[in-house]
Structure 1
Amino acid sequence: MIDYDKARQLVMVMLKGEQKISREVIREKVQIVQNMVSSENPTGSIDWEMLIKDIESRCNVWIGTGTVLDYREDHKPWLPDRRSQIQWKFWKRYERYLEEEKGWSDKTVIRLGEFTDQILERLENPQRLGKWDRRGMVVGQVQSGKTANYTGLICKAVDAGYKLIIVLAGQHKSLRSQTQLRLDAEFLGFDTQLNRAFNQENLRIGVGRLTGEEFLTVHSLTSNADNGDFNKKVAIQVGVIPGGGDPVLLVVKKNKSVLSNLLNWAVSVRGEKDIENGKKIVKGIPLLVIDDEADNASINTNPIPLDENGKMLEDYDVTAINGMIRQLLDSFEKTAYVGYTATPFANIFIFPQGETDRHGKDLFPESFIINLPAPSNYIGPAKVFGIYEDDAGVESEKGLPIIRPVDDFKTFIPDNHRKDYIPPGLPNSLRRAIRAFILSCATRMVRGQEKNHNSMLVHVTRYTDVQKKLADLISEELTFLRRRLEYGDGNTSEPLIAELEDLWREDYLETTRRVKEQISDPLIKDIDWNDVKQSLYRAADKIQLKIINGTARDVLDYRDHPNGLSVIVIGGDKLSRGLTLEGLTVSYYLRASRMYDTLMQMGRWFGYRPGYIDLCRLYTSEELVTWYRHITLASEELRNDFDYMAALGGTPKDYGLRVRTHPEGLFITAVNKMRTGTEMELSYDGHLIETVVFHTDRTTVESNYNVVDGFIRERGSCSGNNGRKIWRDIPSTVITQLLRGIIVHPESRKANPEILRQYIEAQMENNELNRWTVALISNTKPKAKTDRIGGHNVGLVLRTNADEKCEKYSMTKGHLISPTDEMIDLSEEQIIRAKEKMKEKTGKSPEIPSGGYIRGVRSPENGLLLIYPLDPEPAGTSKPVMGFAFSFPESSSARKIKYRVNNVYWEQEFGGHD
């Protein structure tokens, strides 16, 4: 007999290879399966319309391309040459599992394959001889599928020849156990709680149960049991050693003693004395370390001591876990380290040169940073909270109407309560949230999602004793609600059914309507109150209550509930990172942290909500909503900066990174993780804004050429030097009019013409930027190509194209201008003053002062526009490509945004040429 899941699998298999999957194509394939089922089982109960909507939802997921910051000088490309020689057994098995068991569409699995190829090819060839070391970072979104990504990477790495895989899975045993469970099912194929070493008799799960698949040999020296972390004695008993013919997996906590035992075991079993440094190292065994939540516990938070000249001392002490991870990597001849995180704030402030003899290099992702795009069906911070500021070039987005402000919690759970605090009772907002959870569970039942998991998060305190008291109060409330739903309300004047109906009509109906206007999800269907009413008791009766913390014995194991687990989860720190709450619908969250990364990681409500995002509710304070909106803006801005740098072909070490700070005391991350960061106030004032990525299509190139040609022609006579044509005292209105006409590539984010125009107009109101110097730059080299622009013969400027595929034209190292060009409009006196300021600040005596100092001596009333007609050959165009650079003077009246910047950013602004 074919059930719903089997029918879905058959249809998804039929859709493989379809170029365009429309509703009509899906309906056609469903009809074929329906005919098959009807002949076998005429009375079958499959909801075929729901199946069509389900498959449409899975297939209409759009995923963008990842962007990469790369460093390849120490890397030998290998994957294209070896790809056809590798038997991709683990990966192909995982592909099939995602399609058949998880219901992923063909194109989603293909895109995962592309992303994991991007990462794998940046690791080293495991067959490469000699010593090598690769360190990278993958940035995703909270709850967006990073585990699926690194599971796919592990499968491919093992297929390619990596023999030892170590996954660093958080600091809590529950998260470690959850990660092991996932890898048991999706990589190993057997239950490690029963047997860690591979055995044909092992209990097969996940990929191990796929019909017709070979049971692949791989061992684990850790298990999914609560106490299944690495143990040296158990490892010896298992009798598996790294570097044999079979791959070995370890999933371990970030714990000093665990990592120390692991290191000692590996070195004692396979270590050899290294001739160069006398240390024992493991040779010939390629090691892959996956650091899940790489910004948590892995960062060295100790200060880096400097000598009297500001140089780092050769050896210093680091924090325990950071030191153990570095020593582990330093003790292997061939290593690849990949950190995964959704909140890379701490990682970008790692000091790249922080190497010591004892620990080796720090964990700065010097080899690559990959920014993973979120799929179109991902419900992330921007969709939940919205983005309302666009001054930094971040697109605004309307938040979903699922947040419910809580203002009655001060007497229930004060911010500064102690561990012996006794809550006086549940506030009305939490009672309402529990009722909302029952309604959401019942509605999902009516929508055909009865066997799906449902979770409610209650996160209001980190103290375990207070959590227990809170659990007692919630348990009493649940019992009260169940009894009234089962037996009726008795003599009460406020019937529960009527209360729930009011909540349904006042909240749920309107929210569903508004969500459907914002999100296209065919699984969200309108339903009748009477149907929901019939399911209320079943929904409430199914709900369990669990406390998840370091002392409670409750375990959150969704595997034990094939018909769906409905659970209210009360917890604190253990719910703050990594732990997945399946089917999370209602969150009651008051726990305050003042750190961006901690707050964002506490947001367990992010993720995928097919068919029920309209039923989700977040009950929290107005203050926390404001904080989350700011952090969302800062996060999106940082991701945009990653994309911008990647478009320019840079390396992780090349570019400075910045994170917007909060005006009311939020911290980007723990203060001790940002010791190398510097706070700066940034705006367009005092900055050079360049177009560094360009369109290459004929229409855009010719349009910009014609706009500049007309603009220069209208300027009339000019002065000049070194071939440059210069016009002074140009009114700002002329510049803003030019900005309305030019087209800038979206990857030149800082040079967004509309935002530049708005800034200039705002400064004009402050009686600044009233006049401009305009310079048309000309290449004076004898062999330079020439063109006639605005009636002037100019030499075309030659710039290398960093985009090897020539899909766009981007500047190598991200700069359009030459260092001396910014001084075109300065007097000798101003140049001397800029040099003096730079010497005073840096101790350097340069011939050419850095751009920051040049802009510091220019009058706030005067801006500089440099126009670069670029040689069309590198761009593959017929007309010259027009480049623009805006040099803005410093201003005391301009709106400034405070950022924390890393050392590279500061150096680029004030330490050298930009």
Structure 2
Amino acid sequence: MIQAPGRLALHRAVLGEMSGTAPTGLLRSMRYQAEVIPGANEYANEEDFREALLMAGRADPLVAMWRAQFYQWDFAVDPPWSDARPRTEQRRAHLYARLALDPATAKLLEAGAPVSTLPEPVVIGTKFEPWYHLRERRPSRHSREGYWNNYRLALPARHWSPEAIADLDIATDHVVERLADPTSEIAYQAKGLVVGYVQSGKTANFAGVIAKSIDAGYRLVIVLSGTLNLLRAQTQRRLDMELVGRENILRGAADHESDYSDDPAWIQRRFLEFGELPSLLEGIDIHRMTTRDNDYRSLQQGIYALEFEKREPSLPLYDPANLHRAAARLMVVKKNKSVLTKLVKDLRKIKTPLAEIPVLIIDDESDEASINTTRPKADAERTAINQCLSDLLTMLPRAQYVGYTATPYANVFIDPSDAADIFPRDFLLSLARPTGYMGAADFHDIDSDIPEAERTYRNSNEKAHVRDVVVADEDDTEPLRKAVDMFVLAAAMKVYREANGLGDGYFQHHTMLIHESGWVDDHRHLLARVTQVWWDADYSGPTGHARLRDLFDTDVALVSAERAEGYPVPATFDDLRPHISPAVIRIGGDQKPIIVVNGDTAVETGEADFDKRAIWKILIGGQKLSRGFTVEGLTVSYFRRRATNMSALMQMGRWFGFRRGYRDLVRLYIGREETGPRNRDIDLYHAFEATCQDEDAFREELEQYAETIDGEPQVTPAQVPPLVSQHLPLLPPTSKNKMYNARLVELRSPGRWREPTAYPTAAADLRHNVATWQPVFDQLSTTTTEFAYHFPDGQQSHLLRAHHTTLSAPTFLALLENLRWRAPRQFAPDLEYLRSITADRTVTDWTILAPARTTNDDRIRLGAHTFPRWHRARRRDPLFGAIAYNWHRTIALRMAGALPTSADPHTESHTTPHRGAVLLHPVIEPHNLSDLRPDNTIDPAKLVITFGFVAPSTAIGRDSRTVRFTTVDAGSENVVVDSEE
């Protein structure tokens, strides 16, 4: 439906009026606006609005503008017109009542703008003095004044949905409100950390924070953008294009004098425009201290440019009389000792008292270079970049520090007692996973209940997107050729989609990344190998087409049939074949199908500059492509490089990101290694899986502890390090010299499933544990009982057939205290919790369940009886993955009171208020199966007795807090388990 201009103008005016205040009666507002809008009277009634909504599609401009405003209202923090929580049906009901809408109109609006299901950001923080929301929430709301408003309005052109924009608004509010009030007479230096996902849009968040901070009064913004020129230039351009704007860049100069005069987006006028310099529009100018091509330079002119003007010389700069008339300074600088030393030196020379300048320091990739890796000692010198940061924070008492990273482990392990360091003492904010993002979880089937034999391209991420790389020797190019074939086939699929609805040029970039090593010499050899693969491929001849046909039929067609999300897919390879030649020409028509990116030259010359030209190429790289730099259009990744810690590995995951229009075509070719107790090589795919689990566990812990109790935080950022988990001992979260300062003493888990993983491997310890558990096996019932949990919806039931018995709480605790572990510290916080609830009798006994198998063939004799045995491999040496099945855990959760009634008499008979539940599994690892004797016995040294437990949901401990900590001297011992323990 094409909306009438008068109707659109009327509703635009209505929403413009209400966006600055609060939702008010729609009919009254329409009638009022219709008096000043020519031809709008006929639309100033609810019947017309309802009819227009009924005829409109989701993309209709009328629906889009209302959807955008609804999400602004839905996400608003503590609005005066509603006491309901954001993003709830209650908030929406208040909204409809304020608008005085007919229920039929409300229903139509609900269809076009459903209540958002995006999770809110999670914030761990100390108490702070509210200031941001006590002022007018947007000091500069008008488009001609406010940088945030301009930034927000530019996002739809980058395919941001109204919901995502509203989410960004809330997330950036959470950051800015925790900074100090820039107009306060008392200087306070807030420090925080924002945790996003790799390649997930963290730049958009800190651009929004910068915009709001400048609007609020911050006048010097320093963005520390990685250690590489290419990343600094990419960040500078992004901020210039979307935040600074054309007029601030030119400052009266001619168009061709801009440092972006050769940039296609500049030429096409896609940089933000105000119409005039913001200061001529009663706004605030931004003076750039760095440009796209030039980092900060120490020049006399630069020193003068850093001087801040005062309208009222007798008042300090932070006084509103001066602050809201002073221009802001923005610089995007590399984390380079020379550059930062120049900046520190120049700041000391300016006449404006440094104590008066409200400063915002944004540290992108804050876990790289910024961290002081010197072991804390009284006389130890800081590392170079950390020293420069310390100097800045010391000399600028009004400086606010906000770090951004996807791998926060190094940051949270900084010594919080070091006042001159960058520990995020005030807040730690975990961003929600963005809609449309492909992250680590999208390439794994973590804790999937689907048996491997039943996994398909629809229900298995690994099957859909991951391909193993197993090479016979370093001269074996067959796996590499398969990956290049997939790259070409995916290119043809993109060309096909452009020709069938998406439009010419929809896929501006199409890339493949090959990452085997960080060494330049290795890149030279790899370039020669890939070049030979390309020219031998015969993509224009029968041999190449035969391979592509087979790959299409056995891979692409099958995956895309399940995961194309509505994008066009050719019915046969013959339908795709006409698009192969155009795709190959786009990649190699210039005789340069491959770019090596192991320095800044490839970007500086434009060869790998995604901003200056369309790039359909194979990229070979290492460290230069492992940190922050966005590889646009990345579709196929060939990855064989190892890492020494979790943070480094995740940063290498360049295949994470947004893949609009080609998610089904994404492929990861990744190296696989043999693993086991005697082999310390890491299977790269499972290393990523373990890292993903660590990341998810960290975020889940933060979310759990973010809830305040009686207005007090459960944990502060200083207590966050113990929440970091480590699923793979050979791959610690970050380097050991960054992991110190605190230890988790007790982890309380009432009504939550807990499954220890660090079981021993030593023969003596395994035998000891079998002997410890033997009395329990002697006590288990010799027959099984079927327990069930029938879900309230009546559509699903979980079943568990198990041997069972009951142990008193003191008996069970004594057993656990006698067990041996490969890494005792991992279970210690759980054990301390079990001690406390046993002592205060909030747990009186435990139901022990030994699940049965669907067949009676797999048995193990323990004492006088036989029980089901389980086969599990330590894929993450020495840790197992999940052992208990999800449907078995459901029964245990109900018996512990964590779920409502099961409607099953057997299950209910074992459920009491102070009873916990345990699932017990005798496990034989696959390499020990051959040692099983005919009578179903085995050497106890080759048997692992594993268990998981759910404490009673009533066992909350002495108070309602969930965790308890103790402090250790900085640097005296590690927080997480050493790989050698």
Alpha carbons of 1:300 and 1:197: their partners in 2 closer, same or farther (altered >3 Å)?
farther
Look up the match of 1:256: 337
Look up the match of 1:531: 575
The answer to whether 1:465 aligns with 2:521 is: yes
Look up the match of 1:698: none
| CA displacement 1:686-709 (0-9 Å, x = unmatched) | 8643479xxxxxxxxxxxxxxxxx
Look up the match of 2:186: 130
Q: For residue 224 of structure 1, what is the amino acid of its counterpart?
A: R
Q: For residue 513 of structure 1, what is the amino acid of its counterpart?
A: A
C-alpha distance in 1 between matches for 2:133 and 2:62:
42
Look up the match of 1:720: none
Deviates more, 1:445-454 or 1:403-412: 403-412
C-alpha distance in 2 between matches for 1:22 and 1:436:
44
**Aligned residue among 319, 330, 337 for 2:394:** 330
Q: CA deviation at 1:896?
A: 9.0
Identity percentage over the alignment? 28
Q: For residue 597 of structure 2, what is the amino acid of its counterpart?
A: I
User: In 2, are the aligned partners of 1:64 and 1:375 still within 8 Å (CA)?
Assistant: no
Partner SS for 1:477? helix
Q: For residue 347 of structure 2, what is the amino acid of its counterpart?
A: A
Partner SS for 1:538? helix
Q: For residue 162 of structure 1, what is the amino acid of its counterpart?
A: Y
Q: CA deviation at 1:428?
A: 0.8
C-alpha distance in 1 between matches for 2:657 and 2:627:
14
Q: For residue 593 of structure 1, what is the amino acid of its counterpart?
A: A
**Aligned residue among 126, 137, 150 for 1:93:** 150
C-alpha distance in 1 between matches for 2:489 and 2:140:
51
Look up the match of 2:440: 381
Q: CA deviation at 1:316?
A: 4.1
**Aligned residue among 265, 271, 287 for 1:219:** 287
Q: For residue 670 of structure 1, what is the amino acid of its counterpart?
A: S
Alpha carbons of 1:821 and 1:512: their partners in 2 closer, same or farther (altered >3 Å)?
closer
Unaligned runs of 5+ in 2: 3-7, 20-48, 65-110, 279-284, 311-325, 450-458, 588-592, 673-682, 753-778, 814-832, 843-894, 899-911, 922-943, 950-962, 974-981
| CA displacement 1:462-503 (0-9 Å, x = unmatched) | 11122123223323433444xx44xx53xxxx6211211111
C-alpha distance in 2 between matches for 1:441 and 1:57:
35
Q: CA deviation at 1:366?
A: 1.1
C-alpha distance in 1 between matches for 2:350 and 2:155:
37
C-alpha distance in 2 between matches for 1:822 and 1:198:
75
Q: CA deviation at 1:659?
A: 2.5
Alpha carbons of 1:601 and 1:260: their partners in 2 closer, same or farther (altered >3 Å)?
same
Look up the match of 1:288: 360
Aligned residue runs from structure 1 range 3-22, under 5 A: none
The answer to whether 1:504 aligns with 2:546 is: no
Q: For residue 840 of structure 2, what is the amino acid of its counterpart?
A: I
C-alpha distance in 2 between matches for 1:624 and 1:236:
48
C-alpha distance in 1 between matches for 2:531 and 2:115:
41
User: In 1, are the aligned partners of 2:645 and 2:732 still within 8 Å (CA)?
Assistant: yes
The answer to whether 1:231 aligns with 2:297 is: yes
Look up the match of 2:418: 354
The answer to whether 1:303 aligns with 2:351 is: no
Q: For residue 501 of structure 1, what is the amino acid of its counterpart?
A: R
Q: CA deviation at 1:514?
A: 3.6
The answer to whether 1:64 aligns with 2:64 is: no
User: In 2, are the aligned partners of 1:188 and 1:218 still within 8 Å (CA)?
Assistant: yes
The answer to whether 1:81 aligns with 2:140 is: no
Look up the match of 2:214: 158
Q: CA deviation at 1:104?
A: 1.7
Look up the match of 2:406: 342
C-alpha distance in 1 between matches for 2:195 and 2:624:
22
C-alpha distance in 2 between matches for 1:347 and 1:379:
25
C-alpha distance in 1 between matches for 2:511 and 2:347:
41
Alpha carbons of 1:191 and 1:215: their partners in 2 closer, same or farther (altered >3 Å)?
closer
CA RMSD of aligned residues (A): 5.1
Aligned residue runs from structure 1 range 798-809, under 5 A: none
Q: TM-score, normalised by structure 1?
A: 0.64
User: In 1, are the aligned partners of 2:245 and 2:274 still within 8 Å (CA)?
Assistant: no
The answer to whether 1:823 aligns with 2:839 is: yes
Alpha carbons of 1:688 and 1:551: their partners in 2 closer, same or farther (altered >3 Å)?
closer
C-alpha distance in 2 between matches for 1:467 and 1:152:
38
Q: CA deviation at 1:317?
A: 2.4
Alpha carbons of 1:894 and 1:66: their partners in 2 closer, same or farther (altered >3 Å)?
same
User: In 1, are the aligned partners of 2:602 and 2:609 still within 8 Å (CA)?
Assistant: no
Look up the match of 2:731: 666
**Aligned residue among 540, 550, 558 for 2:599:** 550
The answer to whether 1:140 aligns with 2:140 is: no
Alpha carbons of 1:237 and 1:122: their partners in 2 closer, same or farther (altered >3 Å)?
closer
User: In 1, are the aligned partners of 2:243 and 2:272 still within 8 Å (CA)?
Assistant: no
User: In 2, are the aligned partners of 1:242 and 1:266 still within 8 Å (CA)?
Assistant: no
Q: For residue 698 of structure 2, what is the amino acid of its counterpart?
A: L
Q: For residue 531 of structure 1, what is the amino acid of its counterpart?
A: D
Q: CA deviation at 1:262?
A: 0.8
Q: For residue 567 of structure 1, what is the amino acid of its counterpart?
A: K
Look up the match of 1:634: 694
Look up the match of 1:728: none
User: In 1, are the aligned partners of 2:247 and 2:273 still within 8 Å (CA)?
Assistant: no
Q: TM-score, normalised by structure 2?
A: 0.60
Q: CA deviation at 1:532?
A: 1.9
Q: CA deviation at 1:106?
A: 2.0
Partner SS for 1:577? coil
Q: CA deviation at 1:331?
A: 0.8
Look up the match of 2:563: 515
| CA displacement 1:429-486 (0-9 Å, x = unmatched) | 11111111111111011112552211110111111122123223323433444xx44x
User: In 1, are the aligned partners of 2:244 and 2:272 still within 8 Å (CA)?
Assistant: no
Look up the match of 2:869: none
Q: CA deviation at 1:388?
A: 2.1
User: In 2, are the aligned partners of 1:87 and 1:159 still within 8 Å (CA)?
Assistant: no
C-alpha distance in 2 between matches for 1:908 and 1:525:
58
Partner SS for 1:155? helix
Look up the match of 1:777: none
C-alpha distance in 1 between matches for 2:271 and 2:230:
25
Q: CA deviation at 1:23?
A: 12
C-alpha distance in 2 between matches for 1:213 and 1:152:
21
C-alpha distance in 2 between matches for 1:437 and 1:331:
52
Look up the match of 2:767: none
**Aligned residue among 749, 753, 756 for 1:689:** 749
C-alpha distance in 1 between matches for 2:546 and 2:204:
44
| CA displacement 1:782-830 (0-9 Å, x = unmatched) | xxxxxxxxxxxxxxxxxxxxxxxxxxxxxxxxxxx9999763359xxxx
Alpha carbons of 1:235 and 1:767: their partners in 2 closer, same or farther (altered >3 Å)?
farther
Q: For residue 321 of structure 1, what is the amino acid of its counterpart?
A: I
C-alpha distance in 1 between matches for 2:780 and 2:275:
70
C-alpha distance in 2 between matches for 1:19 and 1:614:
38
Q: CA deviation at 1:547?
A: 1.1
The answer to whether 1:620 aligns with 2:670 is: yes
Unaligned runs of 5+ in 1: 3-8, 34-55, 273-281, 306-312, 391-396, 413-423, 693-730, 745-753, 774-816, 827-864, 869-881, 898-903
Q: For residue 152 of structure 2, what is the amino acid of its counterpart?
A: E
Q: For residue 658 of structure 1, what is the amino acid of its counterpart?
A: L
Alpha carbons of 1:237 and 1:299: their partners in 2 closer, same or farther (altered >3 Å)?
closer
Look up the match of 1:433: 483
C-alpha distance in 2 between matches for 1:577 and 1:58:
37
Q: For residue 86 of structure 1, what is the amino acid of its counterpart?
A: S
Alpha carbons of 1:235 and 1:657: their partners in 2 closer, same or farther (altered >3 Å)?
farther
Alpha carbons of 1:330 and 1:664: their partners in 2 closer, same or farther (altered >3 Å)?
closer
User: In 1, are the aligned partners of 2:139 and 2:215 still within 8 Å (CA)?
Assistant: no
